[in-house]
């Protein structure tokens, strides 16, 4: 087995046993990046020399018996996390020259535990997209291929497409992502990975370039549930620099993976069923429920009646917050600058050159719904519906321990498909958006393949700050599915 095929848990054990060094592990991944990144475009920036320096420091810590769970583990970092001394672009031209003088809290936590950063992963511009086609640095290619048409270039999902593709293609052992409306879970489903969106406030947002501040959730990608639990434990924790960071203890998520689901009540929200749902996704959902029932869980029908308003609410709240957050990119304080005849002209020229079409579209929508005369009609009404969506989850969780749903309405689609219809693109988030509006934890677990041999994910949604149950249910689905992405990804590569 190649070093790049190891899980994080297996690599951790191998490093501690001295079977290989952190430098060996890092070099294996850097060579994989050199071979495959020109085609996949999963990384915007590759930190070759920094990664080797961190790997050497990890070997020294391991030799001294001071290794933590992630010491020597090579990771990809979504280019939304500020990394001290390493360019951070948010997938946008406007931040192209920006090199942060500070480290985000999440990446600082990973470095504290000895992780090695291979580079910055490509992404939809400012995390706005479901395909990784809006990046100013070019689209990312999904390493998976359709069985019947192995020439079609598939999207990895978005916005964290580079993170997902890098892990699926064995360019990194794990990756960070952010999830505002499904941007961890949907790429995880498209790439056959485990993706976890923790409870809002579980991971600090400090040092993460903001899209929609009340919806952004940092979280991990990995190839197994256990690996994602190891990553989240390192990433999480209270941060006094983030006013929305929760002062709650960080449990042993890895231990929770072995808890099992016997005696748990798993809810099935009837609103997630629709006449237009593909038959294979409906069948996989039923199969997932059968797996959990066989493992000792009780299946309970529940209702989330305001789910149908989720997408509409999200596409008012998120653009509104984005229009406010992106006002800081003015060409004066940081990032790129276009010359102008006066200050207003400088602003207009800089933003016109620096922002792509999708970002401009969402900023305009957000500015509109916040404008005088429309604020009450749109934004305030959306916030009221958001509270009703949260109440739906609260009522459901009074009866059940977790929910099981599909993650996405389809498998990965080809580059260029759906791109001429923004509404069709937005529908990719139909199953994931409600959990962001409610701030509850959720994970996507690969559970099967479609007729084209592409991965499909099931989504587990849990109670606030009960990621342990999410991991327990996720591990049960993973064990029953017996999903092995390795042969398929290799065939596609």
Quote the CA–CA distance of 183 and 196 in Å, as a whole number.
10
User: In this predicted structure, what is the pLDDT of residue 426?
Assistant: 54
User: pLDDT for 315-326, tens place per residue?
Assistant: 999 999 999 999
Indicate the range of 244-248, 347-351, 401-405 predicted with least confidence.
Answer: 347-351
Tokens in use for 109? 């936590």
Which residue has 């929760």 as its token pair?
Answer: 246
| Mean pLDDT for all residues in the chain | 94
Concatenated DSSP letters of 307-370: GGGHHHHHHHHHHHHHHHHGGG-SSSSSS-----SSHHHHHHHHHHHHS-HHHHHHHHHHHHHH
CA atoms within 13 A on the CB side of 348: 6
**CA torsion angle for 3, 158, 186, 229 (degrees, to 10)?**
40
User: In this predicted structure, what is the pLDDT of residue 418?
Assistant: 66
**pLDDT score of 491 more than 50:** no
User: In this predicted structure, what is the pLDDT of residue 362?
Assistant: 94
Query: Which among 183, 245, 323, 444 is annotated as catalytic?
Result: 183
Q: How far does CA 466 lie from the centroid of its chain?
A: 19
Quote the CA–CA distance of 55 and 8 in Å, as a whole number.
15
User: In this predicted structure, what is the pLDDT of residue 277?
Assistant: 82
User: In this predicted structure, what is the pLDDT of residue 276?
Assistant: 75
Whether 183 sits among the annotated catalytic residues: the reply is yes
Quote the CA–CA distance of 86 and 50 in Å, as a whole number.
9
User: pLDDT for 411-420, tens place per residue?
Assistant: 999 998 766 6
**pLDDT score of 370 more than 80:** yes
Q: Which residues pair with 458 in a beta bridge?
A: 406, 445
Which pLDDT band, with edges at 50, 70 and 90, does 352 fall under? Answer: very high
**pLDDT score of 58 more than 80:** yes
Quote the CA–CA distance of 97 and 480 in Å, as a whole number.
47
User: In this predicted structure, what is the pLDDT of residue 186?
Assistant: 97
Whether 197 sits among the annotated catalytic residues: the reply is no
Of residues 158 and 485, more confidence is placed in 158
Quote the CA–CA distance of 391 and 368 in Å, as a whole number.
28
Query: Which among 47, 78, 92, 410 is annotated as catalytic?
Result: 78
**pLDDT score of 486 more than 80:** no
Please, are residues 460 and 474 in contact by the beta-carbon 8 Å criterion?
A: yes
User: pLDDT for 473-482, tens place per residue?
Assistant: 999 999 999 9
Indicate the range of 3-7, 42-46, 133-137, 369-373 predicted with least confidence.
Answer: 369-373
Which pLDDT band, with edges at 50, 70 and 90, does 385 fall under? Answer: very high
The predicted model gives 296-309 an average pLDDT of: 96
Quote the CA–CA distance of 54 and 59 in Å, as a whole number.
9
Which pLDDT band, with edges at 50, 70 and 90, does 493 fall under? Answer: very low
**pLDDT score of 270 more than 90:** yes
112 preceded by cis ω (within 30°)?
no
Concatenated DSSP letters of 197-229: E--TTSS--TTBPPSSTTT-EEEEEESSHHHHH
**pLDDT score of 264 more than 50:** yes
User: In this predicted structure, what is the pLDDT of residue 107?
Assistant: 98
User: In this predicted structure, what is the pLDDT of residue 27?
Assistant: 98
Share of the chain above pLDDT 90, in %: 89
Please, are residues 74 and 118 in contact by the beta-carbon 8 Å criterion?
A: yes
Please, are residues 275 and 242 in contact by the beta-carbon 8 Å criterion?
A: no
Quote the CA–CA distance of 485 and 31 in Å, as a whole number.
21
Nearest to 418 by CA among 233, 155, 223, 144: 155
Query: Which among 159, 163, 166, 245 is annotated as catalytic?
Result: 159
Which pLDDT band, with edges at 50, 70 and 90, does 485 fall under? Answer: low
The predicted model gives 285-296 an average pLDDT of: 98
CA distances to 117, 163, 375, 475 from 254, in Å: 22, 22, 44, 10
Quote the CA–CA distance of 121 and 159 in Å, as a whole number.
11
Order of strands, sheet of 402-406, starting from the edge strand that comes earlier in the sequence: 43-46, 116-121, 74-78, 174-179, 217-222, 194-197, 442-449, 455-462, 402-406, 265-269, 298-302
């Amino acid at each position: 087995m190649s070093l790049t095929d190891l899980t994080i848990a297996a690599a951790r054990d191998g490093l501690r046993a001295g079977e290989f060094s952190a430098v060996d592990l890092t070099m294996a991944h850097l060579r994989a990046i050199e071979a495959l990144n020109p085609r996949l475009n999963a990384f915007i920036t590759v930190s070759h020399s920094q990664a080797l320096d961190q790997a050497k420091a990890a070997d020294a810590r391991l030799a001294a018996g001071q290794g933590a769970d992630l010491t020597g583990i090579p990771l990809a970092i979504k280019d939304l996390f500020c990394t001290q001394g390493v360019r951070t672009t948010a997938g946008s031209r406007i931040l192209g020259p920006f090199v942060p003088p500070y480290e985000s809290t999440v990446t600082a936590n990973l470095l504290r535990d000895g992780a090695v950063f291979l580079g910055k992963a490509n992404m939809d511009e400012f995390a706005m997209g479901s395909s990784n086609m809006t990046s100013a640095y070019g689209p990312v290619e999904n390493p998976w291929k359709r069985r019947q048409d192995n020439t079609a270039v598939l999207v990895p999902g978005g916005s964290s497409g580079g993170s997902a593709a890098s892990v699926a293609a064995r360019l990194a052992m794990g990756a960070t992502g952010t999830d505002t409306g499904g941007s961890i879970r949907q790429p995880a489903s498209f790439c056959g990975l485990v993706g976890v969106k923790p409870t809002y406030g579980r991971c600090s947002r400090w040092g993460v370039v903001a899209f929609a501040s009340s919806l952004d959730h940092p979280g991990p990608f990995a190839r197994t549930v256990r690996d994602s639990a190891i990553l989240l434990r390192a990433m999480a924790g209270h941060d006094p620099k983030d006013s929305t960071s929760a002062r709650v203890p960080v449990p042993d998520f890895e231990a929770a993976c072995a808890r099992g689901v016997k005696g748990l009540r798993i809810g099935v929200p009837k609103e997630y069923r629709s006449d237009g749902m593909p038959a294979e996704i409906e069948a996989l959902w039923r199969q997932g429920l059968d797996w959990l029932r066989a493992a000792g869980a009780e299946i309970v029908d529940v209702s989330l009646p305001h789910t149908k308003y989720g997408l509409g609410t999200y596409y008012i709240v998120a653009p509104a917050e984005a229009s406010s957050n992106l006002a800081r990119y003015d060409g004066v304080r940081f990032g790129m600058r276009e010359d102008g005849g006066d200050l207003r002209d400088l602003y207009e020229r800089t933003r016109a050159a620096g922002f792509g079409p999708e970002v401009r579209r969402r900023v305009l929508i957000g500015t509109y719904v916040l404008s005088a005369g429309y604020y009450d009609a749109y934004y305030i009404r959306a916030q009221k519906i958001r509270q009703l969506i949260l109440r739906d989850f609260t009522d459901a969780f009074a009866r059940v321990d977790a929910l099981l749903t599909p993650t996405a309405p389809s498998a990965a689609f080809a580059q260029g498909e759906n791109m001429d219809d923004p509404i069709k693109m937005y529908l990719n988030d139909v199953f994931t958006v409600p959990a962001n509006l409610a701030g509850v934890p959720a994970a996507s677990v690969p559970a099967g393949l479609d007729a084209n041999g592409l991965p499909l994910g099931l989504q587990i949604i849990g109670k606030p700050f009960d990621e342990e149950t999410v991991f327990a249910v996720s591990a049960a689905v993973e064990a029953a599915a017996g999903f092995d992405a390795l042969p398929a990804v290799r065939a596609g590569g």
